[in-house]
Structure 1
Amino acid sequence: MPKTRRPSAVQTLALGFALLILAGACLLSLPIASRSGEGIPWTSAVFTAASASCVTGLTVYDTATQFTPFGQAVLLLLIQIGGLGFVTASLPAALLARRRVGLRQRALLQDSVGALQLGGVVRLARRALLVTVLCEGLGAAALAFWFCPRYGWGKGLWMAVFHAVSAFCNAGFDLLGTGASITTEAGEPLLNIVLMALIICGGLGFLVWDDVLAHGRHFRRWRLHSKMAFTVTLLLFAGGAAAFWFLEADHAFAGADGPTRALMAAFQSVTARTAGFASVDQSSLSQGGVLLMLVLMFVGAASGSTGGGVKVNTFAVLVLGVRARIWRQDDVNVFRRRLDEGDIHKAYSTAGIYLFGALCGCMVLCVQGAGLTDALFETFSAMSTVGLSRNLTGSLPALSKWAVILMMFAGRVGSMSVAMAVTRGRDAQNGLRYVPEKILIG
């Protein structure tokens, strides 16, 4: 009798996210979830559940006006579980029940929180939960000072909690009821700054926070991963804000005073890398601004974070690899460390699979009538779990919606992980390797 193969950790995580989306869609399609008292169509329910579970933020409905408090609570739960990863989110229950975390569960946790090694993964997951509670709690408390005076204590506190979780998990769902994210509040410093802080905290990744908790400001003692993630995130934020300041002065930021324009530029730079909140209408961006958005969405957040994209670390490895090749260096070095060749190959493979998936998705949307610019923006937004749109999501045909669902799923689980989950690995036969032969490149 043939031995049954157990699913790998990657396959288990992919299946878990698929089941989470299915369960969320079932709940959101119930009449009790909609203010109209009628269930939403199944495709729209799956789309909304996938967007929440994959912490994307693309929506076919306005969250505040379409969904009841029950529906909003379902979305909040999906966002929280999707942001942490269902394995990490289930850890408190296992710890409270004093259940031993076995090797298989540790392997799942390793992939879920982005740990570099199996040892210490439970401690890292605990710290991830601690950082999540602290950041979301402090963020909700700060946002309450903005929401409660405007909406009252009950609704204000609910909105503060919802937006804190949505921002830290880089989801981008909002309850303002405008149907245009926070564009009507682009000049509100407290709201914008707190949301930016939460987005950045969630996008740095749990390994970075583990180093912050363990070593504080002693940057030299941080892991190489954390050094790269923090440094590149800072550079992308500053560079993106400066570029948007100049590019959109006569376009999306036209008519804004200096402080508001600076706030909008900073927010646009932060939200472009997987957050989903919008303080300006994305369809009003200049062509240069759109191109910059595509680049920032492609990069995304740091590895092991609540965000998507090819990841900050992957992008850094690509740039460093090109630099090493230009300078005819055999090794790729950074912060006095040499990068592992396997990580370099994985970075190029991840970027290649991401771009292939995005171009395929863009082709589907274009075939169904979307303009090239809008289709590219939508597909990069879905693949990077950004959640920004140029007013295209609500008018997508059914086939295009399913294509976007698949892209959001691939973006959250990881394009490389999805490819590995649907393929069967081939082991080397007796260590045999073929004879190498050179080809022309470039």
Structure 2
Amino acid sequence: MYLPIASSTGKSISFLNALFTATSATCVTGLVVLDTGTDFSHFGQIVMIMLVQVGGIGFMTMATLIALVLNKKISLRERLILQEALNHGSMDGVVRLVKKVILYSLMIEVVGAILITLRFSREMPWGQASYFGIFHSISMFNNAGFDLYGMIKGPFSGLSSYVNDPFMNIVLMGLIFLGGIGFVVLSDVIEFPTKRRFSLHSKVVLSATLMLVVVGTLVIFAMEYNNPQTLKPLSPTGKVWASLFQSITTRSGGVNTVDIGALQQSTQFFMIILMFIGAAPGSTGGGIKITTFVLLVGAVYAMIRGKEDVILFRKRIAKKVVYKAVTLTMLSLVLIVIFSMLLSLTEHKDFLTILFESTSAFGTTGISMGLTTELSPLGKVWIICLMFLGRMGPLTLAYALSKTEIEKELFSYPEGKIIIG
């Protein structure tokens, strides 16, 4: 991205901007300090979308693909790493899952590219329409949020001109949704006609995703219905499309059809919550993950009901998994709080805007209230760190810094009591 050939002007962009763009692409975030369509050449855009593809399906998945093409054997250690990278339940069949990930990803991206190309062929020559179709299909499926609409409507114009377009809404939302449910769930959905059953993980992800999409749509619709800068000028159908699109994209899509900065503060804060929850494990999305959120809700419900175990779909969840969910959530909150405080020191914006930007970077969501393009050099560094940590995952970082094995205590301490609440 730093090479002169990657810039539309033929001159190198600053190293910090190049690093920010490369990090955003690799972490499939979508936050940009320069407009993708107007500030980068075709070469720069191709490099960007290649980084998105590698970052979306995962480095280990790509490395395994290369090993399989070269007919190399996948070692036990590599299978264990793949199991963790894909959030697979066991090591058994993990290489088969990698093959499915690659096959299903390519199939969905090809179909998406064809559909988007057909739509854009009405506005531009077939060659450019095909280029747009391929770029946006990869970007949307990988929940990256990079777009080239600046080449048509002007820098940072986004998808606002397609807010009333049912075809574009359905295709883009479909790509974001399929990329955000995770490859394990995607495999279950595609193979459901033959297997006739879903795993517990898939049931939790699909049911919780549907619930959040519906609730998100209703809340955004209600809060923005009379906002003259967002939904009010739209037709009743347009209001529904816009509300639904924002509900889906907030959980990691990275594109928007209405001006995020013009939303009501209540709506913006609600979107922060959705961004923090994020997509499913093993997906191209970020956040604490929807299964973590479900476990937290389940733990609260169990405590209120006086139950000892968290039960989901008549299955008892192990306590160590619940502890892991609590740990992940707390570490994520700490990261967002720390970097929001750091951004508050370097950026002269209201705190809600800073919190929104921090959560978007951590959740690798990519939607912005406009702060990203105005970031100071140090502010860009904070967001780069937050995007990287958000994509890597705070729990992964904690494991990397801690001991490799959990030591079993040879004794137990006497039970103590403290007052809570």
Query: Which TM-score tier does this pair reach, normalised by the shorter chain?
Result: over 0.9
State the match for 1:398 in structure 2: 377
* Superposition CA RMSD, Å: 1.4
- CA gap of 1:217–1:387, structure 2 versus 1, over 3 A, is farther
Cα contact 2:27–2:56 (8 A) shared by 1: yes
State the match for 1:254 in structure 2: 232
Matched, 1:278 2:256: yes
State the match for 1:160 in structure 2: 133
State the match for 2:89 in structure 1: 116
Shift, 1:92, TM fit: 2.3
Q: Please point out which of 258, 282, 306 is paired with 1:304.
A: 282
1 CA distance for matches of 2:296 and 2:194?
27
State the match for 1:222 in structure 2: 198
Shift, 1:354, TM fit: 0.5
> Cα deviations across residues 361-406 of structure 1 (Å, max 9, x unaligned)?
1111111122101001000100100001111001111111111111
2 CA distance for matches of 1:238 and 1:212?
20
Amino acid at match of 2:243: A
Matched, 1:36 2:9: yes
2 CA distance for matches of 1:67 and 1:52?
13
State the match for 1:434 in structure 2: 413
Cα contact 2:281–2:290 (8 A) shared by 1: yes
User: Which stretch shows the higher mean deviation, 169-178 or 362-371?
Assistant: 362-371
Q: Please point out which of 350, 355, 364 is paired with 1:385.
A: 364
> Cα deviations across residues 123-182 of structure 1 (Å, max 9, x unaligned)?
111111111011111111111111122121111101101100100000000001131311
Shift, 1:429, TM fit: 6.3
Shift, 1:38, TM fit: 1.0
Secondary structure of 1:151 counterpart: coil
TM-score normalised by L of structure 2: 0.95
Secondary structure of 1:149 counterpart: coil
Q: Please point out which of 321, 346, 359 is paired with 2:299.
A: 321
User: Which stretch shows the higher mean deviation, 64-73 or 286-295?
Assistant: 286-295
2 CA distance for matches of 1:209 and 1:217?
14
- CA gap of 1:287–1:135, structure 2 versus 1, over 3 A, is same
Secondary structure of 1:323 counterpart: helix
State the match for 1:422 in structure 2: 401
Cα contact 2:269–2:356 (8 A) shared by 1: no
Q: Please point out which of 322, 333, 338 is paired with 1:344.
A: 322
State the match for 1:147 in structure 2: 120
- CA gap of 1:316–1:398, structure 2 versus 1, over 3 A, is same
1 CA distance for matches of 2:33 and 2:145?
13
Amino acid at match of 1:264: A
For structure 1, the 5+ residue unaligned runs are 1-27
Amino acid at match of 1:53: T
1 CA distance for matches of 2:255 and 2:280?
18
State the match for 1:205 in structure 2: 182
Shift, 1:239, TM fit: 1.0
User: Which stretch shows the higher mean deviation, 105-114 or 329-338?
Assistant: 105-114
2 CA distance for matches of 1:226 and 1:390?
33
State the match for 1:371 in structure 2: 350
Cα contact 2:24–2:384 (8 A) shared by 1: yes
Cα contact 1:84–1:113 (8 A) shared by 2: no
Secondary structure of 1:61 counterpart: coil
> Cα deviations across residues 58-83 of structure 1 (Å, max 9, x unaligned)?
00000010111110010000000000
Cα contact 1:180–1:278 (8 A) shared by 2: no
Matched, 1:235 2:211: yes
State the match for 1:10 in structure 2: none
State the match for 1:12 in structure 2: none
2 CA distance for matches of 1:276 and 1:212?
24
Amino acid at match of 1:390: M
- CA gap of 1:255–1:424, structure 2 versus 1, over 3 A, is same
Cα contact 1:232–1:316 (8 A) shared by 2: yes
> Cα deviations across residues 287-322 of structure 1 (Å, max 9, x unaligned)?
221121011101100111110000010000000100
State the match for 1:17 in structure 2: none
Shift, 1:112, TM fit: 2.0
Shift, 1:422, TM fit: 3.2
2 CA distance for matches of 1:267 and 1:214?
27
2 CA distance for matches of 1:438 and 1:210?
47
User: Which stretch shows the higher mean deviation, 181-190 or 46-55?
Assistant: 181-190
For structure 2, the 5+ residue unaligned runs are none
2 CA distance for matches of 1:205 and 1:86?
16
Matched, 1:103 2:76: yes
State the match for 1:182 in structure 2: 159
Amino acid at match of 2:391: R
State the match for 1:133 in structure 2: 106
> Cα deviations across residues 44-97 of structure 1 (Å, max 9, x unaligned)?
111111100000000000001011111001000000000000110222221121
1 CA distance for matches of 2:209 and 2:219?
15
1 CA distance for matches of 2:365 and 2:220?
18
Stretches (4+) displaced over 6 A: none
1 CA distance for matches of 2:37 and 2:216?
31
Shift, 1:423, TM fit: 3.5
Secondary structure of 1:170 counterpart: coil
How much identity, in percent, do the aligned residues show? Answer: 38
Secondary structure of 1:333 counterpart: strand
